[in-house]
Amino acid sequence: MSASTASRLLMNRAAAATLILTLLSAATAWGYRIVAQPEDAYEFLLNEITLPRSVTGSVGFLECAVCVASSLRVTATTTYQLDRTQMTLSQFLEAAENILQTRGAAENTSVIVFFHVESLRVSRVRIEQIR
């Protein structure tokens, strides 16, 4: 093996080692990043959920077909939306009832319940009609 070949081999090994160390340190730095998720959501069909009847009520639902019923509390600060139009709870309940009375509409209407992960309090409830 000539001196120039040995020198190139040594440089290639050094470059490969540098690349590996750089990639490992980048992966390690990414592994320590903490991402907070202050809000989460459930999505149901309108006929699969029980809506609150008062501003201090709760939203009732089944997370799965064999799960025990769950509920999340609403508060006076919970907002209600129909297709992203904000409305009062009474207007929201009236709109939901009208959709439920329309044949086949409930199966094409989703309800998204957004809640704070730590407190499990509902921040907003949105009805979205699937078109």
Q: How confident is the model at residue 103 (pLDDT cuts 50, 70, 90)?
A: confident
Q: For residue 85, what pLDDT is reported?
A: 95
| Whether the predicted pLDDT of 109 surpasses 80 | yes
Q: Which long-range contacts (CB under 8 A, 24 or more apart) does 29-33 make?
A: none
What 8-state DSSP symbol labels residue 67? S
- Whether 3 and 47 map to the same domain: the answer is no
Q: Look over the chain and give the mean of its residue pLDDT values, rounded to a whole number.
A: 84
Are 124 and 80 spatial neighbours (Cβ–Cβ below 8 Å)?
Answer: yes
Q: Which domain holds residue 92?
A: 39-129
- Whether 58 and 115 map to the same domain: the answer is yes
Alpha helices in 1-131 (DSSP H): 3-31, 89-101
What 8-state DSSP symbol labels residue 121? B
- Whether 22 and 69 map to the same domain: the answer is no
Q: For residue 127, what pLDDT is reported?
A: 95
- Whether 82 and 66 map to the same domain: the answer is yes
| Whether the predicted pLDDT of 105 surpasses 60 | yes
- Whether 45 and 28 map to the same domain: the answer is no
- Whether 24 and 59 map to the same domain: the answer is no
- Whether 54 and 68 map to the same domain: the answer is yes
pLDDT digits (tens, 9 = 90+) for 9-66: 556 666 666 767 676 666 555 556 667 789 999 999 999 999 999 999 999 998 888 8
- Whether 109 and 96 map to the same domain: the answer is yes
